[in-house]
Amino acid sequence: MTQIFGASSTTEDVLSGVSLKGKRVLVTGVSAGLGVETARALAAHGAHVVGAARNLTKAQSATTQVRADAERGGGTFELVALDLADLSSARACADQLNATGLPFDLVIANAGVMATPFGHTKDGFETQFGTNHLGHFVLVNRIAGLLRTGARLVNVSSAGHRFADVDLKDPNFDHTPYDPFIAYGRSKTANILFAVAFDARRRARGVRATAVHPGVILTELTRYMPAGGVEAMVARINEQAAADGKPPFQFKTIPQGAATSVWAGVVAEADAVGGHYCEDCHVSPVVPDDQAIDLVSEGVRAYALDPVHAEALWAKSEEMVGEKFS
């Protein structure tokens, strides 16, 4: 990590001078937003990118620029079907990828939903935990054998993990009043803990895993927020910023938001990011669970990096999906 990047760095900044020719990458959630830009940047620098999406028609339209930049940069791009809210789809996607026998150098688990109304996936899991965590848990573990030595897993999490730790006793809100952002927080904490446990299992053979917060970006992820919800959130943030003598909040652009995934996946040193949580193209400091923290300040909660907690989530996840993974 000889060059220093930060919150304003873009995917092109991070990948300047980097050739990814011969590298093969899987990116989930390529029908909009960060997933599209992540795939575009990697393919533009020569990578062979497999993009996964639930709606292939939408993804085909959204990735026109991805294919154009791939052709110019010497990369390739293809689509595969994946509905993370349906474990049969996650398993079918894994089967399709395994059938090719083609290895991966990088998997970016980018797809997700935020603050959805209360509901369940096809398999009966709370929507956000089931989609954001369990769908990826099954997919990634089923294709783990395709990860080359030196490969990486990047789980796209969020500062929203601070809303809540995982609840292993009531993951589906069967006994807890549902709150869309508490549910989102649980799922984003799960993304980090999954990376911690996966890294612990795979690093001996040179495969590392990390989790990232892309920043606050206006994408389709906000579609379930009530009218005026984003504006109200920004107003609260700016009120606190003014009281603290800080400048007003600014949204990241999509290329800035995708930069940390790309940085953690191909630019950062593996030992620096493996088993950690990153934001703004650097490893985040750990903030004790009892210390106050606001939505836009840096830091990861200690509970999200606890290896014992990560193992407990792994065991619970195996129980919920009915599969064991080494």
303 tagged catalytic: no
Q: Quick check: 192 and 264 in contact, CB under 8 A? A: no
Amino acid at 304: A
| Dihedral, 172, 176, 179, 185 alpha carbons, nearest 10 | -60
Biggest CA-to-CA distance, the chain: 57
Residues 6+ apart with CB under 8 A from 145: 98
What SS3 string covers 231-256? HHHHHHHHHHHHHCCCCCCCCECHHH
CA–CA distance, 59 with 80 (Å, rounded to integer):
10
CA–CA distance, 300 with 295 (Å, rounded to integer):
11
Question: Which tokens belong to 279?
Answer: 């934001």
Catalytic residue selected from 178, 184, 224, 303: 184
Q: What is the DSSP string of 200-243?
A: HHHGGGT-EEEEEE---B-SGGGGGSPTTHHHHHHHHHHHHHHH
- 106 φ/ψ angles, rounded to the nearest 5 degrees: -155, 135
Residue positions annotated with a catalytic role: 184
